[in-house]
């Protein structure tokens, strides 16, 4: 009982309770990361570079680089990410690379914060999911999660952790629970591509960029509802609908028992059983920290290389102008102003979730609102989420991720535009 209450309460406090410190309201995890960023700013670029270095050599040390073509491509991209990181930290390279919206933007805004957020988050994650809270909440959420999203009740923690914390934290939870045999391949894929969106803190950056902070509550709740509504639809269409129902490495699987009565009593018993069987606090924190650090090594070099490639393509080539034509019919259908610009912004979301906002800063309010929702609800982008998903054990291919991204963008445009016209 002490383990369940004390450790779970600390986990909930760190991930879910907004605290105001120095005039800034955010979750404790964000405050901890921000404190480190201001306390030792000179050390962080070298720490991030060390993680990128370890991430770049890891596939070659482990031999995973030759597993398949995608692994080979991402292993090469990680080396390119290392080169870009070295150039940034030691300040040499072409002039365009040091444009504030290019290398420095990726490194300072994404690489450093994700490099701290995931390992520190993984320490507190041990408290949140290791001592029965997952099972306790799961049993109460069964009547909602299973019929709507075809996932177990326990996945509700994932969904909330992603929205409040970060996609990296959500994916860390998903991967951990999947490897324990508590999610099937299909369930893990649904959670990874449907719930692991960017956090509220990222949403604030988008809202500020597009001058939407005056309608922040409207933007937040519309995005929240649309994101999960889109997920409820994508789970019923290919490729997610056809994913395997097997468990990780064909293990037996700890299938969630559907509870019809005595819900409170059953939830309590399940929580106590998990807390009783859990490893020591030190062991649990170490295992999670190790998982979190390996995931960070997988993400950071990819953010540097893939993110940079996306920024270069958006800035200097017509690739995303061409891709925009895919979404043009849907944008015209809902009669958004600045249709071609909105189409290009939708297309560019595949590269980096901040890019769409940068493209539509001068567009009409309705267009800005819809694109702001698209940048969050589309979930899948190559600068961070794709490498993050590929660094988990969930068997999702790049091809399937692109299809899911396309489905999510189209559905988000079609669902958000009428709401935007109604509310704004």
- How do residues 14-59 score in pLDDT, each as one tens digit? 877 778 888 877 778 878 888 898 999 899 999 999 999 999 999 9
- pLDDT at position 153 is 84
Average pLDDT over residues 206-235: 90
Alpha-carbon span 196 to 159, nearest angstrom: 7
Please name which of 220, 225, 239, 207 lies closest in space to residue 380, comparing C-alpha atoms. Answer: 239
| H/E stretch holding 348 | helix 339-348
Residue 142 has pLDDT above 90, yes or no: no
- pLDDT at position 164 is 58
- Identify the band that residue 143 occupies on the pLDDT scale cut at 50, 70 and 90: confident
Alpha-carbon span 47 to 32, nearest angstrom: 17
- pLDDT at position 337 is 94
Average pLDDT over residues 384-401: 87
Residue 203 has pLDDT above 90, yes or no: no
- Identify the band that residue 108 occupies on the pLDDT scale cut at 50, 70 and 90: confident
Q: What is the DSSP letter of 153?
A: T
Residue 136 has pLDDT above 90, yes or no: no
Q: Which two tokens stand for residue 47?
A: 């720490």
- Identify the band that residue 119 occupies on the pLDDT scale cut at 50, 70 and 90: confident
Average pLDDT over residues 269-276: 88
Name 396's Cβ contacts closer than 8 Å, sequence gap at least 6: 189, 192, 193, 389, 390
Residue 201 has pLDDT above 70, yes or no: no
Q: What's the whole-model pTM score?
A: 0.77
- Cβ(103)–Cβ(88) below 8 Å: yes
- pLDDT at position 266 is 87
Alpha-carbon span 403 to 369, nearest angstrom: 24
Q: Environment class of residue 407 by beta-carbon count within 10 Å: exposed (0-12), middle (13-18) or buried (19+)? A: buried
- pLDDT at position 342 is 96
Alpha-carbon span 187 to 190, nearest angstrom: 5
- Identify the band that residue 331 occupies on the pLDDT scale cut at 50, 70 and 90: very high
- pLDDT at position 165 is 56
Q: Residue holding tokens 């988008």?
A: 206
Alpha-carbon span 184 to 194, nearest angstrom: 15
Q: What percent of the chain has pLDDT over 70?
A: 98
Name 76's Cβ contacts closer than 8 Å, sequence gap at least 6: none
Choice among 192-206, 216-230, 366-380 with the minimum mean pLDDT: 192-206
């Amino acid at each position: 009982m002490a383990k369940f209450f004390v450790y779970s309460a600390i986990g909930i406090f760190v991930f879910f309770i907004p605290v105001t410190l120095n005039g800034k309201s955010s979750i404790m995890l964000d405050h901890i990361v921000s404190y480190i960023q201001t306390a030792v700013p000179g050390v962080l670029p070298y720490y991030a570079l060390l993680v990128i270095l370890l991430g770049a050599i890891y596939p070659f040390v482990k031999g995973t680089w030759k597993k398949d073509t995608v692994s080979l491509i991402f292993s090469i991209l990680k080396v390119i990410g290392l080169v870009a990181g070295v150039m940034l930290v030691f300040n040499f390279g072409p002039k365009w690379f040091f444009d504030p919206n290019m290398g420095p933007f990726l490194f300072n805004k994404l690489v450093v914060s994700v490099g701290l957020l995931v390992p520190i988050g993984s320490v507190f994650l041990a408290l949140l999911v290791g001592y029965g809270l997952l099972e306790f909440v799961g049993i109460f959420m069964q009547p909602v999660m299973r019929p709507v999203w075809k996932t177990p009740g326990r996945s509700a923690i994932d969904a909330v952790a992603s929205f409040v914390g970060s996609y990296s934290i959500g994916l860390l939870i998903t991967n951990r629970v999947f490897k324990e045999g508590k999610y099937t391949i299909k369930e893990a894929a649904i959670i990874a591509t449907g719930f692991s969106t960017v956090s509220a803190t990222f949403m604030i950056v988008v809202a500020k960029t597009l001058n939407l902070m005056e309608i922040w509550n409207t933007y937040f709740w519309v995005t929240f509802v649309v994101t999960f509504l889109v997920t409820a639809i994508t789970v019923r269409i290919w490729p997610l609908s056809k994913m395997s129902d097997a468990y990780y490495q064909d293990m037996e699987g700890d299938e969630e028992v559907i509870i019809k009565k005595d819900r409170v009593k059953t939830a309590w018993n399940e929580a106590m059983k998990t807390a009783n069987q859990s490893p020591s606090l030190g062991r649990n924190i170490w295992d999670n920290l190790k998982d979190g650090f390996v995931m960070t090594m997988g993400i950071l070099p990819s953010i540097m290389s893939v993110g940079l490639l996306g920024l270069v393509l958006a800035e200097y080539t017509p690739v995303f102008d061409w891709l925009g034509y895919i979404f043009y019919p849907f944008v015209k259908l809902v009669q958004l102003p600045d249709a071609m610009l909105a189409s290009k912004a939708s297309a560019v979301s595949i590269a980096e979730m901040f890019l769409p906002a940068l493209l539509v800063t001068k567009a009409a309010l309705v267009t800005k609102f819809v694109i702001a929702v698209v940048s969050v609800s589309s979930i899948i982008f190559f600068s961070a989420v794709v490498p993050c998903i590929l660094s988990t054990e969930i068997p999702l291919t790049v091809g399937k991720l692109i299809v899911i991204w396309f489905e999510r963008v189209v559905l988000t445009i079609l669902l958000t535009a009428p709401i935007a016209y109604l509310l704004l």
